[in-house]
Structure 1
């Protein structure tokens, strides 16, 4: 059985990459794998302390790579950490240690970045890439010709599911948005859509949840309060039962993201698991999540408001059908996840991967 040096962020703080890294580690340990974890989470420190702390962790990982014959797994960082990950991959190749890199963000997949090109070249053709969707795999191969060895593991297995039975009692609807609320996640489009839907006498309420991350979003929340009055509710960050109530209370989930590192948003998977049709954008791996779910994926070049209103006009009568389609899509993704994660576990725990 291969010992595994497992490098990546773990909660806290809680975010998509940390959740994914922790869930995979727990699954591997349940399969009997022995992990040596290097936690790259740096907490809430000032910039200098954070950078120093992260570099020290990478130096410690480097020492372990050079002193041990271990399989290396890296949950890739999106920014400067990519260069540090490239160094680890190069050291592992020097030691002829099998290596796996897990891509949990998309910007470096969509456009060629020097740091990622260096990492791929350092790893060689035997470097195993784990991606979140089939489309992500195709984009990775198109951007980096050297990235030839990959497997897909979707994110459905790491989200919490909710047993919610959706019921529509009238011809008005409640729309919801849950995110780290910021300009890039589309807060302005959410508010504009609610205002126009209220004008069209379709909207019952807009519910927004999640922490506010910038001044722009603070202003948009205030605009929603002013324009929508009693038809608007801001709930702040939601967890546990509060998140269940959020999904129970809404009819449609609105997610007009243009965030450059968006890959496979966990909140979209949570929404379709709860049977909530989603209206979102075609960035990154989102179309593959929403495909067949009864929701709507709009091109980022389209007018999001018009496209959403057209969807409501053409699909609101089929709401319950689309709600069931959403649940079925998540079930299909979850079945695929089980097969995918078992395959990776077998490779990691029981089969010697090609040396790089």
Structure 2
């Protein structure tokens, strides 16, 4: 049983908080969220950043050597922070074997009397039980506060990892402000995908959707944006552009004003993710902040965040293209 459920933010002006997680670069959902949390905490208390980003998303021996060195450096900061009054550790829980790094940080934090705040941002350990996550919960102890992105996430976690610990829900939606977009005068329906463009994040579903819409004579203009994962993915985009001509464009990575312009140019945001660690993608809230309806595969918290009034959720990848094409034709 969960010891306590907290509905509001937990903070103190007298705390000294080590924020141990990936910071940009590279820019991705995890690093962006860690930066936002650190900035928010810095408005209330002292923050000590412990950057765990090895500078690349590519897993290799070099990646893990750099990550191990950064974890050791973060542990040193925890030891020193333990000399201050009321020290605290905020750490996003890694996915998969990366939980080993989380466990090490939490263990050192506890030894040096830190209050522990573990932010869960992946459903990978919820869709199937993980012995590493069980160990992480045990090491964090009953005094730890586990932070979740939505109620569904908290409920699944409690069911898979029962125990006595504090918990709270803090949605990524709180970091997004409402925007305005100019009305569309395009005779075509403008759809887009912004993500790390690879198979897991829905690149190939998106390309198949464009093909299906054109076969149904749905007048669409499609736009891809974001970094490309591999040469195979780049080749797939090049072939699709050759096939669809002016109906498909690729912008590359977009940030800040370019990202705003991307969302402003759309009528529908498409997000066919099957990424195993998907939890609550910021990009969906960003699209919704521009008033865009969403068509996505139901992963993580999306079933709670994207209601029928906000668009269409498809239960699985094999069903996605047909269901999305029918919905776009209806619109």
TM over 0.5, yes or no? Answer: yes
- Structure 1 residue 235, shift from structure 2 partner: 1.0
Aligned counterparts of 2:184 and 2:260: Cα–Cα separation in 1? 15
Give the match for residue 19 of structure 1: 32
Name the TM-score, length of structure 2 as normaliser.
0.86
Counterpart residue number, 1:37: 49
Does residue 1:311 correspond to 2:327, yes or no? yes
Distance in 2 of aligned mates of 1:53 and 1:245:
39
Residues 274 and 317 in structure 2, CA contact (< 8 A), matched pair in contact too:
no
**Structure 2 portions without partners, runs of 5+:** 1-13
Residue 194 (structure 2) aligned to one of 172, 178, 181: 178
Task: Compute the TM-score of the two structures, normalised by the length of structure 1.
Answer: 0.81
| 2:281 aligned residue (265, 271, 285) | 265
Distance 2:164 2:154 in 1: 9
Query: 1:129-184: CA deviations, max 9, x gaps?
Result: 011111111111112112642111111233465321343553x3121111110011
Residue correspondence of structure 1 range 115-154 to structure 2 within 5 A: 115-146=132-163, 148-154=165-171
User: Structure 2 matches for 1:254-293, cutoff 5 A?
Assistant: 254-293=270-309
Other-structure match for 2:268: 252
- Cα distance, 1:307–1:49 mapped onto 2, change above 3 Å: same
In 2, the alpha carbon distance for the partners of 1:49 and 1:85 equals 15
The answer to whether residue 315 in structure 2 is matched with residue 299 in structure 1 is yes
Of 53-62 and 283-292, deviating more is 53-62
Alpha-carbon spacing, 1:149–1:174, altered in 2? closer, same or farther (3 Å): same
SS in 1 for 2:200: helix
Q: Is the 8 A contact 1:65 1:91 kept in 2?
A: no
Bigger fraction of residues in helix: 1
Corresponding residue number in structure 2 for 1:105: 122
Could you say what the CA RMSD is over the residues aligned between the two structures, in angstroms?
A: 2.3
Q: Cα 1:50–1:95, aligned 2, differ >3 Å: closer, same or farther?
A: closer
Work out the number of aligned pairs and report it: 313
Change (3 A) 1:185 1:115: same
Q: Would the aligned equivalents of 2:20 and 2:92 in 1 still touch at CA under 8 Å?
A: yes
**CA 1:98/1:47 → structure 2, altered by over 3 Å: closer, same or farther?**
closer
Query: Partner of 1:189 in structure 2?
Result: 205
Q: How far did residue 304 of structure 1 move? A: 0.8
DSSP 3-state at the match of 1:41: coil
After TM superposition, the structure 1 stretch with the greater mean CA deviation from structure 2, 181-190 or 9-18, is: 9-18
| Shift in alpha-carbon separation, 1:98–1:59, aligned structure 2, 3 A | closer
Deviation at 1:258? 0.3
- Corresponding residue of 1:155: 172
Equivalent position to 2:104, from 59, 65, 87:
87
Is 1:76 aligned with 2:93? yes
Closer/same/farther in 2, CA of residues 219 and 61 from structure 1, 3 Å limit: same
Residue in 1 aligned with 2:246?
A: 230
Greater length-normalized contact order (CA 8 Å, ≥ 6 residues apart): 1
Q: How many angstroms apart in 1 are the aligned matches of 2:68 and 2:112?
A: 26
Q: Give the unaligned 5+ runs of structure 1.
A: 317-356
Local SS of the residue matching 1:185:
coil
Instruction: Give the Cα separation in 1 of the matches to 2:321 and 2:262.
Output: 22
The CA distance in 2 between the partners of 1:103 and 1:80, in whole Å, is 15
| CA distance in structure 1 between the aligned counterparts of 2:194 and 2:272, rounded to whole angstroms | 11
1:7 match: 20
Mark the CA change 1:18 to 1:161 in structure 2 (over 3 Å): closer, same or farther.
farther
Structure 1's 215 and 161: CA in aligned 2 closer, same or farther, altered over 3 A? farther
Q: For the Cα contact (< 8 Å) 1:42–1:53, is it kept in 2?
A: no
Residues 78 and 112 in structure 2, CA contact (< 8 A), matched pair in contact too: no
